[in-house]
Structure 1
Amino acid sequence: MSSHGILSDLQLADLVDQGVVIPQEPLADGQVQPASLDLRLGRTAYRLRASFLPGAGRTIQSRLTSDLVMHTIDLEKGAVLETGCVYLVQLLEGLKLPADMTAAMNPKSSTGRIDVFTRVITDGGEAFDQAPAGYEGPLFAEVSPRTFSILARTGDRLGQVRFRRGGHHPTQEQTVSVDLEGFDNGVVGYRARRHSGLVDLAGIGAHPRERFWEPVTAPDGQLVLDPDEFYILASRESVTIPLNEAAEMAPIAPEIGEFRAHYAGFFDPGFGVSEAGGKGSRAVLEVRGRDVPFILEHGQPIARLVHEPMLEAPAIAYGQVASNYQAQGLKLSKFFR
């Protein structure tokens, strides 16, 4: 067992009894993952005029004034969160971290693949997606659909949290490049269709792919990214996360500037491991063009996969129970059929 690293599923399950995770409702089935805990939307969404960070010494609730909040939305019956808008939702999970534990948050894979921009803020927060050691208080999710409007409800899971003891100690970094040679019938990816229908977060496999996505090809191994268009691509490399490690996708070179990947990227122990049914698993890349058209070439580096140790191996590795993305190649979000 390592003296520092990411908490495993067994350790995560104990955090409620220890008072580290404070849920407003009992944890739901499947909420505990091999190396992360899914975070659930609460009962009310605030439509904001703009994103914000509360800043040192200030609570999120104190910032929710009439100058910032345009209106409130009841999520218990379900509500549409529209593209181009910024919403803030208190999560059903709060935290009371011990002095030697930090927390990091990230969108779930299914969230990133529908181009929903989401990040977590804390009371006193001066950075997104981080809860410092000793933090005690609520968690709020900022949610901003970029391409598809979504139908969301209390309990839906757009993000996840990892808990870490002993600081961040990467063990290795793996460069991830893009595959533009094609999968089925020369298709190398998908581009989101603008002005498509609504994505119901309860509708797993309920949305026809062709209504929301158009396939793209890359003649001569090149793909031109159009400005502000959203693409689903796949890595050239297979990805394997051993049982004693977890990983996270990170930018490879922010200074490139002409595109970015969404990086909805926690990779659980067991992802891509043959014994867990993951032989040949690729990383799916959520890519958005920026200011000018940009040529992406086959094999071009596009992200980094940063590995770090687990405190202990999980009881159940990724893929040993029902999983949407084990052994994936080029794969859209679980909401599409």
Structure 2
Amino acid sequence: MSKDVMLKDGVLASQTIAALMERGVIDGAHPARLQPASLDLTLSSRAWRVRASFLPSRARTVAARLAGGLAMQEIDLSSGAVFERGCVYLVELNERLALPAGVEGAANPKSSTGRIDVFVRLVTDYGAAFDEIPAGYSGPLYAEISPRTFSILARTGSSLNQLRLKCGEFRLDDAALRRLNEQSPLVDGPADIAGGLGLSVSLRSEDGFVGWRARRHSALIDVDKVGALDRHDYFEPIAAPKSGFIILDPDEFYILASKEALAVPPDYAAEMTPISPGLGEFRVHYAGFFDPGFGWRPDEQGEGGINGSRGVLEVRSHDAPFVLEDGQLVARLVYEKMAARPERLYGETIKSNYQGQGLKLSKHFR
């Protein structure tokens, strides 16, 4: 299908993405940015402060929309620049695509991006939806960046979101998900499968606290510095409530953890879907992609099991205070079939920051 690269139905693995890079399907990418089932995208030197979030629509390019009055200021990221909280920016990415007719793309913020409350969405020319790349797309890629709680420092080469490529039919329906769970358990307990795998929130803890609430007016976060910050300067701990519930304040940002430990077997990937409005007036969906091997480890038979990796939940309430109870359903995971097993799994030989995680802040914090 694509210059001698044989593509099967499913989410493309790192080795296939690398082959497409070599053939010019993905231009401007570096092999060091490959993950088991995704590619970390990087900022170029060109950025704009814009008046508001926007989509080009099917009739226009991003450049045409910027020239039409949406751009307020052009910014050079070569030496780094501050992205202020509450503002919206657009950055041209280093990577360009020339996808074959049967390959589509999707994007999401990286885990570390979501955990510092930076809203990042992919934008394409003639795009009618964020984070979606239609099959056969050829052109540049842009990232819309809107820090919500903390201002950030970023520069050319910084990576805030990631790209996945998919072919044909790849999403598992509930029947297939139940069969997979019978073969290789996906959670460390009963599996709630209805429109995906249900996740509930944990608000009980033996060590006395169950989450973190972001502090406003904190110092700048350099997105490229790992382990540089004191978490207490940016977050305050949430004590385990004796009542069994907490009240989410509107427009505040929380880091919580799932009650369930998760596993993503090597031949699958998973994505956290936006919660149904019927489940509550809050959002649990920033960086919702799980690579093959997340929370999974091989046993003596090589079939694998769960290693205790919790789902970290980036939570924001909407317009009204909202009660969140221990064990309450807050999100669902949909599982997707890989087109091939990645040569390296999450947490094996690559630097995986969140394998075996519990309640964990982003990699920026000590």
Smaller-chain TM-score range?
A: over 0.9
Q: Give the aligned partner of residue 181 of structure 1.
A: 204
The 1:202–1:3 alpha-carbon spacing in structure 2 relative to 1, beyond 3 Å, is closer
Residues 24-63 of structure 1 aligned to structure 2 (within 5 Å): 27=30, 29=32, 31-63=33-65
Moved more, 40-49 or 260-269: 260-269
> Partner letter of residue 351 of structure 2?
A
Whether the 8 Å CA contact 2:98–2:137 is kept in 1: the answer is: yes
In the aligned structure 2, how far is the partner of 1:262 from the partner of 1:213?
A: 19
Among candidates 226, 229, 237, match of residue 252 of structure 2:
229
Whether the 8 Å CA contact 2:263–2:305 is kept in 1: the answer is: no
Among candidates 337, 343, 349, match of residue 315 of structure 1:
343
Query: What's the TM-score, normalizing by structure 2?
Result: 0.88
The 1:277–1:83 alpha-carbon spacing in structure 2 relative to 1, beyond 3 Å, is farther
Whether the 8 Å CA contact 1:88–1:143 is kept in 2: the answer is: yes
How well do the aligned residues superpose, as a CA RMSD in angstroms? 1.7
> Partner letter of residue 253 of structure 1?
S
Among candidates 208, 211, 217, match of residue 230 of structure 2:
208
Whether the 8 Å CA contact 2:11–2:170 is kept in 1: the answer is: no
Q: Give the aligned partner of residue 326 of structure 1.
A: 355
> 1:235, CA displacement in angstroms?
0.3
Whether the 8 Å CA contact 2:262–2:306 is kept in 1: the answer is: no
Whether the 8 Å CA contact 1:2–1:309 is kept in 2: the answer is: no
Q: Give the aligned partner of residue 294 of structure 2.
A: 271
> 1:190, CA displacement in angstroms?
0.0
> 1:68, CA displacement in angstroms?
1.0
> 1:308, CA displacement in angstroms?
0.8
Whether the 8 Å CA contact 2:150–2:218 is kept in 1: the answer is: yes
Deviations 1:206-240 (A, max 9, x none): 01101000000222221110111000000000110
> Partner letter of residue 337 of structure 2?
P
Q: Give the aligned partner of residue 154 of structure 2.
A: 152
Deviations 1:290-335 (A, max 9, x none): 1111110011000011101000111000001221000000000000
> Partner letter of residue 282 of structure 2?
F
Percent of matched pairs sharing the same residue:
56
> 1:2, CA displacement in angstroms?
9.4
The 1:5–1:324 alpha-carbon spacing in structure 2 relative to 1, beyond 3 Å, is same
Q: Aligned to 1:64, what secondary structure does the other structure show?
A: helix
The 1:183–1:159 alpha-carbon spacing in structure 2 relative to 1, beyond 3 Å, is farther
The 1:225–1:319 alpha-carbon spacing in structure 2 relative to 1, beyond 3 Å, is same
> Partner letter of residue 27 of structure 1?
H
Q: Which runs of 5+ in 1 are unaligned?
A: none
Q: Give the aligned partner of residue 16 of structure 1.
A: 21
Residues paired across the two proteins, number = 333
The 1:4–1:44 alpha-carbon spacing in structure 2 relative to 1, beyond 3 Å, is same
In the aligned structure 2, how far is the partner of 1:286 from the partner of 1:96?
A: 33
Deviations 1:120-156 (A, max 9, x none): 0111000000110110000000000000000000111
Q: Give the aligned partner of residue 280 of structure 1.
A: 308
The 1:210–1:62 alpha-carbon spacing in structure 2 relative to 1, beyond 3 Å, is same
In the aligned structure 1, how far is the partner of 2:135 from the partner of 2:7?
A: 19
In the aligned structure 1, how far is the partner of 2:155 from the partner of 2:353?
A: 21
In the aligned structure 1, how far is the partner of 2:137 from the partner of 2:326?
A: 44
In the aligned structure 2, how far is the partner of 1:80 from the partner of 1:37?
A: 25
Question: Which aligned segments of 4 or more residues in structure 1 are displaced greater than 4 angstroms?
Answer: none
Among candidates 265, 275, 297, match of residue 242 of structure 1:
265
Deviations 1:99-129 (A, max 9, x none): 1100000000000000000100111000000
Q: Aligned to 1:271, what secondary structure does the other structure show?
A: coil
Whether the 8 Å CA contact 2:48–2:72 is kept in 1: the answer is: yes
Whether the 8 Å CA contact 1:189–1:234 is kept in 2: the answer is: yes
Among candidates 331, 334, 358, match of residue 303 of structure 1:
331
Whether the 8 Å CA contact 1:277–1:326 is kept in 2: the answer is: no
> 1:58, CA displacement in angstroms?
1.1
Query: What's the TM-score, normalizing by structure 1?
Result: 0.95
Q: Aligned to 2:73, what secondary structure does the other structure show?
A: strand
In the aligned structure 2, how far is the partner of 1:131 from the partner of 1:304?
A: 23
Q: Which runs of 5+ in 2 are unaligned?
A: 1-5, 178-195, 299-303
Whether the 8 Å CA contact 1:2–1:310 is kept in 2: the answer is: no
Q: Aligned to 1:11, what secondary structure does the other structure show?
A: helix
